[in-house]
Structure 1
Amino acid sequence: MPISLSLGALVGAILGLTGAGGGILAVPVLVFGMGWSIQQAAPVALVAVAGSAAIGAFEAWLRHMVRYRAALLMTMTGVPIASVGMQAARLLPQRALLIGFGVVMLFVAARLVFSAAKKAGAHDDLHNPWALCRINPSTGRLAWTPLVGVSIAATGALSGLMTGLFGVGGGFVIVPILRKITNVSMHEVVATSLMVIALVATGSAVVSVAQGTAFPLRFALCFSATMAVGMLAGRLVSRRLSSRHTQIGFACILVCVSFGMVAKGLIHA
């Protein structure tokens, strides 16, 4: 348990540094550190991710960085779809889930590397020519249209599916999509993502327990506490590090862990 709790602090720190991906490491930590299946690890990971994300979201809320209307809409679509994802996870064999999780991690790693490669000299978040939803200069709020509403709702649904199926936070879905369809700054996108992660992960964990999934409460609380400490440390350190270098480093970690998940899936009986 001490090793797993230490790894929990590391996962929290990565979540604080990236805002959109640290949670994807919570399940592998429990799978390898505790020898659990993905179905066993998912509820504990969701509670831990929810707590850490809530701290980051609250901090960002105090600085008026959360786009709460978009976050609430994504939550409304994300939680019901997460329930569908959890039911699917119970039907799928463990081997398929492990390999699928590894493939998702590779996809996230590739996106991070691609994003970091494009970042050189591209720091003006507010001039996204492809943005469907743009900030109204006179109000400082997003200008909503039916297409924007559907796009953001679909983002929440996709994030919820990943949350329910694999027990991840879904920030790796939310952040790149919001970056494409809005011209909101990266800091606000991350803050909004953290709020959605906190709400959807909490709702998903409650649904999972209500459906009869075994839940080790004491371990979950300890794991969540160490992850929250790591989250706070990561948020402080993130202000002093280059986001480009952070993304590349995180991508390397994801690649290594994804190979481990795929290998475990291939040899899983």
Structure 2
Amino acid sequence: MIIESILGMVVGLIMGLTGAGGGILAVPALVLVLGTDIKVAAPVTLVAVSLAGILGAIDGLRRGWVRYKAAALMSSMGAVTAPLGVMIARHLPSAWLMVMFACIMAFVSFRSYQKALPRSSTIVTENPIKPCMVSPETGRFVWSPRVAATIGAIGATSGLFTGMLGVGGGFIIVPALQKFSNVGIHSVVATSLMVIALISGATVGNALLSTQFQWPANMTAFVVFALVGMLVGRVASPRLSPRLLQLGFATVCALVAITVLVKTAAGI
């Protein structure tokens, strides 16, 4: 129970601080540390990520950070593609899914490290134009067909990986919103947490209702402490350097990716 509690706390804390990383770290942690099969770890992770995402989204709504129309569109598209991801996962060996995890985590680590590096002032433009722009007057997206298509595509991609890998999708939503929009980091994190909660909640229902799935008794502590970690992360986030958080997240993802590849190659 102690190990499960620690893992849950770490997962919730990372989600609260970054708006991503909960599922992408939780699944390999449950598989490698506790020896849980990935097909059991995925729905357990979805429960923890969904509930923690709800807590984070409520905090973001209270602070006015959630771009709720964008979150609703991404969630709708994700709910459509998530069942497809579940179907794909059922026909793939666990080893393939773990290798896919490792590759995704390596990519996320690389991108996070890039964002953490100091940028030259001669290269960065003050107000870069991006596909999805927020109005400085209203603080909301200036909606157009292009904006809707971009936001919808982010949600659809997130939902596909949510169903296939049992992750919340924040590792796609956060960097995608940062790349394709001028939304501030606090709004990005809060919006991501709302989408995670909605997409994960829709996906987990299908997994838990499956006659082949039984809830492991030792996973309750993992879920409870993930919620505690989320609350701590949301309180601590404004007090920590974004660059430090990016570097820490990048390092953790890189270490997990290497560990997953080594264990999978060894036949574990």
TM-score under structure 2 length normalisation:
0.93
Paired residues of 1:160 and 1:170 also in contact (CA < 8 A): yes
TM alignment of 1:169-184, pairs within 5 A: 169-184=168-183
**Which residue of 1 is the match for residue 261 of structure 2?**
262
**Which residue of 2 is the match for residue 168 of structure 1?**
167
CA gap 1:54/1:209 in 2 versus in 1, 3 angstroms: same
**Which residue of 2 is the match for residue 98 of structure 1?**
98
Q: What is the count of residue pairs matched by the alignment?
A: 267
Paired residues of 2:79 and 2:199 also in contact (CA < 8 A): yes
Structure 2: any 5+ residue segments left out of the alignment?
none
Aligned partners of 2:127 and 2:176: how far apart in 1? 12
Runs of 4+ residues deviating >6 angstroms: none
Paired residues of 1:19 and 1:193 also in contact (CA < 8 A): yes
CA gap 1:219/1:72 in 2 versus in 1, 3 angstroms: farther
CA-CA distance at 1:91 after TM superposition? 0.5
TM alignment of 1:1-269, pairs within 5 A: 1-118=1-118, 128-216=127-215, 218-268=217-267
| Worse-matched range after superposition: 174-183 or 44-53 | 174-183
CA RMSD, Structure 1 to Structure 2 (Å): 2.1
CA gap 1:84/1:113 in 2 versus in 1, 3 angstroms: same
Paired residues of 1:23 and 1:168 also in contact (CA < 8 A): yes
TM-score under structure 1 length normalisation:
0.92
Structure 1: any 5+ residue segments left out of the alignment?
none
CA-CA distance at 1:267 after TM superposition? 2.3
Work out the percentage of aligned pairs sharing the same amino acid. 44
Aligned partners of 1:29 and 1:120: how far apart in 2? 37
SS at match of 2:27: helix
Aligned partners of 2:120 and 2:59: how far apart in 1? 28
Paired residues of 2:4 and 2:219 also in contact (CA < 8 A): no
SS at match of 2:239: coil
